[in-house]
A and B are shown apart, each in its own frame.
Chain A
C-alpha cells in the first residue's frame, strides 16, 4: 500500500445538483461519519486534491468549470460521480439544458448511484477510488521509467508505446 491510499484529499464540486447529494457529502465530514479518520480532507483546492467528487449533472454553464477543475489536478487523480444525476443525468437527463452525466466531459472512475446517496455509499465509493488511484500511480511510475529508458536509447518521446492499464 502506498501513501496515496492513506491520505486522499478531496475536491468537491456541485454541478447543478439539487443539493441533496452535497448535504450527504458534507454529512460524511461530521462527527457521525468523520472521514478524516481515514486521512480524507475536503481541500477546496484542485491543485492539492487527489479525488474529484462531483454531484449533479452537466449543463452548458458548468461544462467548462468541471473540465477546468479536472485539468488543474496533478496526476495521479480519480473522479467519483456521486448521485444518479452525476452518473447519468438522472431525472433531468431529458431536460433541454442538461447534457447528461459527468462522463460526457471528463473520464469518471467510480459511479456512486442514489438519490440522494447515503454517506455510507459515498465512503464506499471513495474507498473503491483509492484502489484505482494506486493503479494509476503504478502506471505513472512505469510510464516514467519506460520514457527514461527510451530516452537513453535515443528514441523520440512520441514513439514510446504507452503501458496498458495496470489496475
Chain B
C-alpha cells in the first residue's frame, strides 16, 4: 500500500523543486515591484552560504531541534507522497512545527519567545481547517489513504469546494505569506526582528530553510489531491494556487495575530462545516 520508492524520490528531489519554487517566487515578486530581482537559483546560494558560516548556537539543544524539524518535515512529505494515511501525515506535520517552536523557546531571547508564541497561535489557527480538509477528502473519496484519494475518480473539488477555499485560506499561513507572516517572514523587516528564526544562524538556519522547501512541496501536493481525478487539471490548479499566493503576499499588509486566529477559525467553522453538512444532507455521508 505504501510506495517506498516515492518516499525516497520525495526526500531527494523535493528540496530541489522547493528551492526552485522559492527562487521563482522571489523573481515574480521582484517583477511585481518593478525590480529585476535575484536569479531563480538564489535560494540555493543562500543555503550554500549559510552552510559556509560559523554555527553559532546559543545552547546545546538548539541545533538538535532544527535537525528534528527538517527530519520530521521530510517524514511528513515522504509519508504523503508514499500514499500513507492523511491523518498520520497531519500529525507528523504538527510534530515538525512543534520542534521549530521548541527550538525558538530554547533560546533566551524575547524576540525568539514572541516568535515562538506567534508560531503556536498560527498552528492553532490552521490546524482545525487542515483536519477538516482531510475529513472532507475522506467523505468525498471514501478513504484517508493518500494513494486512494489521488487515484479516486470522484470529482472532489465539485463536492468540497468550501473546504478547498478554507484550505487556501490557511495555506497562506503555512507558506508564511502576508497577511499571515506574523511569526516570521521572508521579507526583510518586521516588528519582532525575525521571529522564530531570530536565534538560529548559519547551518541551523539553512536546515530550517530546507524544511520550508519540503513543506512547500508537500502543501502543493495537498492542493493537488482536490483535483486528483484529472492530473492535468491538478497540475494547473497547483500552479494557479501558488501564483495566487504570491499575488496575495504582495498586495496585503500583515494582520494582527487576533485577526489571523479569529478569521481562520471563522472560515473553518463556516465554509468547512457548511460544506460537510451539505454533503451529509445530500448524500447521507456516502458519496
Chain A contact residues, CB within 8 Å of chain B: 2-4, 6-7, 29, 31, 34, 36-39, 41-45, 47-48, 50, 74-76, 137, 140
Other A-B pairs beyond A36-B37, A74-B56, 14, CB < 8 Å: A4-B52, A6-B42, A6-B49, A7-B49, A31-B35, A37-B36, A44-B190, A47-B200, A50-B49, A50-B53, A74-B54, A75-B56, A76-B53, A140-B54
Residues of A within 8 A of B45 (CB): 3, 6-7, 39
Q: Within B29-58, which residues are at the interface with A (CB < 8 Å)?
A: 30, 33-39, 42, 45-46, 48-49, 51-56
Residues of B within 8 A of A43 (CB): 188, 194
From residue B60, how far is it (CB to closest CB) to chain A in Å?
Answer: 17
CA A50 – CA B37 in complex, angstroms? 20
B161 lies within 8 A of chain A by Cβ: no
Residues of B within 8 A of A47 (CB): 56, 198-201
Residues of B within 8 A of A44 (CB): 188-190, 193-194
With beta carbons under 8 angstroms apart, the residue of A31, A37, A42 that contacts B188 is A42
With beta carbons under 8 angstroms apart, the residue of A36, A45, A48, A140 that contacts B38 is A36
From residue A102, how far is it (CB to closest CB) to chain B in Å?
Answer: 22
Closest residue on chain B to residue A144 by CB atoms: B54
Closest residue on chain A to residue B45 by CB atoms: A6
27 example contacts (A-B, Cβ-Cβ < 8 A) are as follows A2-B49, A3-B45, A3-B48, A3-B49, A6-B45, A7-B42, A31-B34, A31-B35, A34-B36, A34-B37, A36-B30, A36-B37, A36-B38, A39-B38, A39-B46, A44-B188, A44-B194, A47-B198, A47-B200, A48-B201, A50-B49, A50-B53, A74-B53, A74-B202, A75-B54, A76-B53, A140-B54
Residues of A within 8 A of B30 (CB): 34, 36-37
From residue B225, how far is it (CB to closest CB) to chain A in Å?
Answer: 34
Of the listed residues A7, A29, A42, A76, the one surrounded by the most CB atoms of chain B closer than 10 A to its CB is A7
Residues of B within 8 A of A7 (CB): 42, 45-46, 48-49
CA A47 – CA B54 in complex, angstroms? 10
B205 lies within 8 A of chain A by Cβ: yes
B46 A45 Cβ-Cβ under 8 A: no
CA A21 – CA B79 in complex, angstroms? 52
Residues of A within 8 A of B52 (CB): 2-4, 137
CA A58 – CA B255 in complex, angstroms? 37
CA A29 – CA B52 in complex, angstroms? 25
Residues of A within 8 A of B188 (CB): 29, 41-44
Residues of A within 8 A of B190 (CB): 44
Contact with A along B220-246 (1 / 0, CB 8 A): 000000000000000000000000000
Closest residue on chain A to residue B29 by CB atoms: A36
Residues of A within 8 A of B199 (CB): 47
Q: Within B166-195, which residues are at the interface with A (CB < 8 Å)?
A: 188-190, 193-194
A4-B49 contact in complex given A44-B188, A48-B205, C-beta closer than 8 Å: yes
Residues of B within 8 A of A34 (CB): 30, 35-37
CA A31 – CA B197 in complex, angstroms? 27
Residues of B within 8 A of A50 (CB): 49, 53
